[in-house]
Structure 1
Amino acid sequence: MTGWTASDIPDQSGRTAVVTGANSGIGYVTARELARRGARVILACRSGERGTRALERLRTEVPGAEAEFRRLDLGDLDSVREFAASYDSDDSDERGDGLDLLINNAGVMALPYRQTADGFETQFGVNHLGHFALTGLLLPRLLRTPGARVVTVSSGLHALANIDIGDLNSERNYRRWIAYGRSKTANLLFIHELARRLAAAGSDVVAAAAHPGYAETNLQSAGPKMEGRKAVERVVSIGNRILAQPATAGALPTLYAATAPGIRPDSFTGPRFLGWQGSPAKSWRAKWTRDDTAGERLWEASEGLTKISPDFDG
């Protein structure tokens, strides 16, 4: 993997990719680089204004790109269902009914306590449950597509906390960073269990995870901005400029997991240097993210909360 860059992405012509949170940061870079290599890219974003602006920017930076914006709010399961239904009813898909890449990238970090439209704690609801539901609803398309992959973006900060299966929505004691760590652990347990179930179904769909290290994005400032904490916003901005790698570098682990040959199911890719910066490499992960029992229990709880049961029969 040494020195792997976006220029090493294999030709993606004829492939279709859905990228959540593609309006900015590593999500935008991921969508742009896939489009640059020939993929048809769907930018799945919550804000119509920001999504449309990102699409215009992408088409400027990649002339001739086959890309479109579709609204998706991962904090609202009705929106997730509408997105999947619109995808299934799209008769304009000349490439057939397959889906080659699902990039579960969107996320929120260290927010003050909030709830999603469905009453879930926002970090768990958006980072995990929204992507669990989206993957489940799009799974039939993935199963019909040879060589399809699901890549979910987690974080090295999953090490902050294991999930609490008895308090998934942090109702007893909300601590924003612990809740964030739990949501990122949930991402890894989801991929672990998804990979196991795909293998049991005899599918060649690859479920993998990635993380960007410390990348300069809007993610870090969202919480302070929501609370009007200007001083914290300034500190975050300075830290990003001094310590963070650019989003173009932060997107490389995701792009590697999505396109490089030989990616193994349930793998976790991150930056090479201390999981912080550098080219893509195998990343350390907490042992609790490979716990079969925890993965199964989280899966069952997620089915109950979302009322969505992924169908592995295709």
Structure 2
Amino acid sequence: MSSSSSTPPWDVRRPPRADGRVFLVTGGNAGIGYFIAEQLCASGATVVLGSRDPAKAEAAMVCLRSQVPGARVRAVRLDLADLSSLGTTAESLAVPRLDAVVHNAGVALDDPPRRETRDGHELMFGTHHLGHFALTGHLMPLLSAAPAARVVTVGSFAAKSERLDLDDLQSLRDYRPKRTYGRSKLAQMYFGLELDRRLRSVHSPVTSVVVHPGGALDSLTPSRPPVHVRTAGERLRAAPAALLVQGKHAGAWPAVRAVLDPAVSGGQLWGPQLFGLRGVPRQEAVWSQLADTSVAARVWEAGRDLTGVDLDTTVPGHR
């Protein structure tokens, strides 16, 4: 039976309870990450926001508590562009186990010039793929301590039309912001699927799921001041776009389902129902390029070599 037909039917506005569980959302202080955190808070779980900016994290927590009375939420400092800091981030969680991590944080696509991380990696590839790769390695002992933890990687619909240049993963020869963004998210999605294959090979209780939010616009997103404020004018101007895309609150739905729905399985891809752009979350066929396991293995090797984190050795039972 397909996992997309879970029983009872999935209700995006009434997720199942998750009391006693702990979830980390990277980039949980803004955008889609904020709404993932809000919806997970509503399940009764403890939600930890991973954020570079303590002031923005504090504002997000105030907003979350106003939207979800009694919300269990706190924050840790997280900078995916600084690989040496990620071990400290994992330690600062100060929990005996972690039931899920949502790899959501990313670099905004605003046509930036090519920039590099503190470690000298192209910023989008370094943040989306390398940062989350290394963070997963540091978190694996906590994830493995949970009975059935999930790693949920938030990709992008923009990646669907891209193919990786394995000889130029860091866009040294060919930097075009939109292409580099799409390719960096594609690398991240390859990682999420390859991670699940490797976890299965060692019979780990941890599973890995890949999701994407479809088309998610600020102008279709409900206000959450001060995290996000939408004016009446913006709402009216965006109304025609709602036929094809959606707000960031709805863009959060596939990730939330991937965390909470017991019918979701590792190695799956989830996105919005209508043309992959809007609507309730459903399981999709894995995109053709993502099914290439030889490319996935190369992306994994790049993550290991460039971060210095051998994720395989962090998986219990690996030999």
TM-score normalised over the length of structure 1? 0.87
Structure-2 change in CA distance of 1:240 and 1:134 (3 Å): farther
**1:304 maps to which residue?**
305
Structure 1: distance between partners of 2:284 and 2:198: 23
1:7 deviation in Å? 3.1
Task: Kindly indicate whether the alpha-carbon contact (under 8 Å) linking 2:153 and 2:192 is maintained by their aligned counterparts in 1.
Answer: yes
Aligned-partner SS, 1:7? coil
1:109 deviation in Å? 4.1
Alignment of 1:1-314 (within 5 A): 1=4, 4-87=10-93, 90=94, 93=95, 97-110=96-109, 111-217=112-218, 242-243=240-241, 244-310=245-311, 311-313=314-316
Structure 1: distance between partners of 2:150 and 2:157: 21
1:238 deviation in Å? 9.1
What is the identity, as a one-letter code, of the residue corresponding to 1:133?
A: A
Aligned-partner SS, 2:13? helix
1:4 deviation in Å? 3.6
* 1:184-242 CA-partner distances (Å, limit 9, x unpaired): 21122101110111001101212001111111249xxxxxxxxxxxxxxxxx9998664
Structure 1: distance between partners of 2:239 and 2:255: 22
Alpha-carbon RMSD across the aligned residues, in angstroms, is 2.0
Structure 1: distance between partners of 2:47 and 2:91: 17
What is the identity, as a one-letter code, of the residue corresponding to 1:173?
A: D
1:269 deviation in Å? 0.6
Task: Kindly indicate whether the alpha-carbon contact (under 8 Å) linking 2:216 and 2:247 is maintained by their aligned counterparts in 1.
Answer: yes
1:5 deviation in Å? 3.3
Structure 1: distance between partners of 2:236 and 2:113: 22
* 1:60-93 CA-partner distances (Å, limit 9, x unpaired): 2212111101111111112322201323xx2xx4
Structure 1: distance between partners of 2:87 and 2:190: 23
1:285 deviation in Å? 4.2
Structure-2 change in CA distance of 1:305 and 1:240 (3 Å): farther
Bigger mean CA offset, 78-87 vs 28-37:
78-87
What is the identity, as a one-letter code, of the residue corresponding to 2:70?
A: G
Structure 2: distance between partners of 1:266 and 1:150: 10
* 1:251-290 CA-partner distances (Å, limit 9, x unpaired): 1111111111221211111110001110011235431212
Aligned-partner SS, 2:246? coil
Unaligned runs of 5+ in 1: 219-235
Structure 2: distance between partners of 1:180 and 1:285: 20
What is the identity, as a one-letter code, of the residue corresponding to 1:312?
A: V
Aligned-partner SS, 1:213? coil
Aligned-partner SS, 1:295? helix
Structure 2: distance between partners of 1:41 and 1:182: 29
Structure-2 change in CA distance of 1:112 and 1:61 (3 Å): same
Task: Kindly indicate whether the alpha-carbon contact (under 8 Å) linking 2:212 and 2:271 is maintained by their aligned counterparts in 1.
Answer: yes
Structure 2: distance between partners of 1:138 and 1:21: 16
What is the identity, as a one-letter code, of the residue corresponding to 2:204?
A: S
Structure 2: distance between partners of 1:118 and 1:238: 44
Structure 1: distance between partners of 2:58 and 2:160: 35
What is the identity, as a one-letter code, of the residue corresponding to 2:210?
A: A
Task: Kindly indicate whether the alpha-carbon contact (under 8 Å) linking 1:25 and 1:216 is maintained by their aligned counterparts in 2.
Answer: no
Structure-2 change in CA distance of 1:301 and 1:9 (3 Å): same
Task: Kindly indicate whether the alpha-carbon contact (under 8 Å) linking 1:216 and 1:241 is maintained by their aligned counterparts in 2.
Answer: no
Aligned-partner SS, 1:134? helix
Aligned-partner SS, 1:173? coil
What is the identity, as a one-letter code, of the residue corresponding to 2:11?
A: T
Task: Kindly indicate whether the alpha-carbon contact (under 8 Å) linking 2:45 and 2:72 is maintained by their aligned counterparts in 1.
Answer: yes
Structure 2: distance between partners of 1:290 and 1:8: 33
What is the identity, as a one-letter code, of the residue corresponding to 2:250?
A: A
1:45 deviation in Å? 0.9
